[in-house]
Amino acid sequence: MRTTLSLDDDIAAQLEQLRARGDRSFRQLVNDALRAGLALLDREDAAPRGPFTRAVSLGAPRLPDVDDVSEAIAITEGESYR
């Protein structure tokens, strides 16, 4: 398949350095790098991921129900708030 690929300057420089050190063509280096990167991404996608957060007990709620805002304020501030 033939396609146009825009590379960031740092990636192009790394590929060019690798090409200068070895006997592979630029095309072969790009293909090898893509194969290695795709294999790594495929392994990461297949690996089970654990939870990103851990559960923490916050204790019992101080207010039984906060749907009634007036009642919640009366419990915390006392009946004299009104």
Tell me the one-letter amino acid at 2: R
Residue 44, Cα to own-chain centre: how many angstroms? Answer: 12
Between CA 43 and CA 61 the distance in angstroms is: 43
Across residues 5-20, what is the average pLDDT?
92
Count up the domains in the chain and report the number. 1
Residue 38, both tokens: 């795709």
Asked whether residue 41 is assigned to any structural domain, the reply reads yes
Whether pTM exceeds 0.85: no
Between CA 48 and CA 82 the distance in angstroms is: 54
* Residues 39-72: tens digit of each pLDDT: 988 887 766 667 778 888 888 877 777 788 888 7
pLDDT on residue 72: 79
Asked whether residue 76 is assigned to any structural domain, the reply reads no
Asked whether residue 68 is assigned to any structural domain, the reply reads no
Asked whether residue 31 is assigned to any structural domain, the reply reads yes
Say which residue the tokens 């396609």 belong to. 3
Domain with 31 in it? 9-46
pLDDT on residue 8: 94
Asked whether residue 3 is assigned to any structural domain, the reply reads no
pLDDT on residue 1: 86
Asked whether residue 54 is assigned to any structural domain, the reply reads no
Phi, psi of 25 (to 5 degrees): -80, 165
